[in-house]
Amino acid sequence: MAIRWDKEKVRSQAAAEIARTAPGEQPIVTFHATANREGRMRGPRFLARAWRLVARRFGRNYFVSLTGRRVAVHRLGGAFRTRIVERYRDLPRGEQGGLVRRVREGGLYDRLWLALPGEEATLDCEVVHYWRPELHRFLAELAPAAPLAPR
């Protein structure tokens, strides 16, 4: 079961953090993503599901925000501490040409691969289905021809 985030609370926290770091900027779109580091799970189905639940519960959570001038990725304190802990990455809007490597739409979760500068591996994120409109708007604002793979 996914943690259901209150969208207004997420938006207000992200807007407050962006206003604190860059006065005068407002987020255009913000969504929540969970880093997926588990890879392909093998073994009995019930154990794989249990491991995924634990990984999502204690995994790294991010708010991804797009403003008029930049893309901000904020890391949260975890599943139980839903406050922004640090500004993970802050990219000027003109320099993120290859930021989105791939997007795959699924039933419950959408997958988003972000190529952040300074990291050798992409950040593999899961975005829950109720954040799908925000994810689609983010992709439309960022790059008109985003690579969206079918289910």
Tell me: the pLDDT tens digits for 12-47? 888 998 999 888 889 999 998 888 755 555 667 777
pTM (predicted TM-score): 0.76
The alpha-helical segments, DSSP class H, found in the chain are 7-21, 45-58, 132-142
User: How much is the pLDDT for 41?
Assistant: 55
Domains and CATH numbers, the chain: 7-149 (2.30.29.30)
User: What token pair was written down for 63?
Assistant: 């708010």
Smallest CA-to-CA distance from 2 within 38, 29, 27, 34 is with: 34
Give burial (CB, 10 Å; 0-12/13-18/19+) of 29. buried
Model confidence at 50, pLDDT cuts 50, 70, 90, reads confident
